[in-house]
Amino acid sequence: MIASAKDLRFNISMLFDLLEKKEEITITYRGKSKAKLIPFRDSKKIEDDTLFGLWSDRDEDVDGYVRDLRRGRSFGI
């Protein structure tokens, strides 16, 4: 379904009802798509987690790698 930002503001309960029915909603602002609402999946119902163990074959520490990503860039200026 496509809904405008005005629909989001004034008819949020209708949009929640559609999300309960597992329908995706695209939010538009001035005729252009800006966001997408998708139904929430309960993580307890996920049976196959294909990303589990993704870093198991690497020697690198995951926590250190993420810290390096969050540190940001320095351009030496």
Give pLDDT, residue 65.
84
Q: For residue 53, is it within any domain?
A: no
Q: What is the rounded distance in angstroms from the CA atom of residue 24 to the CA atom of residue 2?
A: 9
- Say if residues 37 and 16 touch (Cβ distance below 8 Å): no
**What's residue 48's pLDDT?**
64
As a whole number of angstroms, the distance between CA 72 and CA 53 comes to 26
Helix or strand or coil: residue 72?
coil
Question: Contact 27/36 with Cβ under 8 angstroms?
Answer: yes
User: Does a structural domain hold residue 2?
Assistant: yes
Cα–Cα dist 37/15, whole Å: 9
- Residue 45 resides in a domain: no
Q: What is the pLDDT along the chain (77 residues), one digit of tens a residue?
A: 899 989 888 999 999 999 999 999 999 999 999 999 999 876 565 566 677 777 778 888 888 888 888 887 777 66
The reply to whether 70 falls in a domain is no
pLDDT for 64: 85
Is residue 13 assigned to a domain? yes
Residue 10 maps to which CATH number? 3.40.1620.10
When divided into structural domains, the chain yields a total of 1
What's the domain range around 26?
A: 1-40
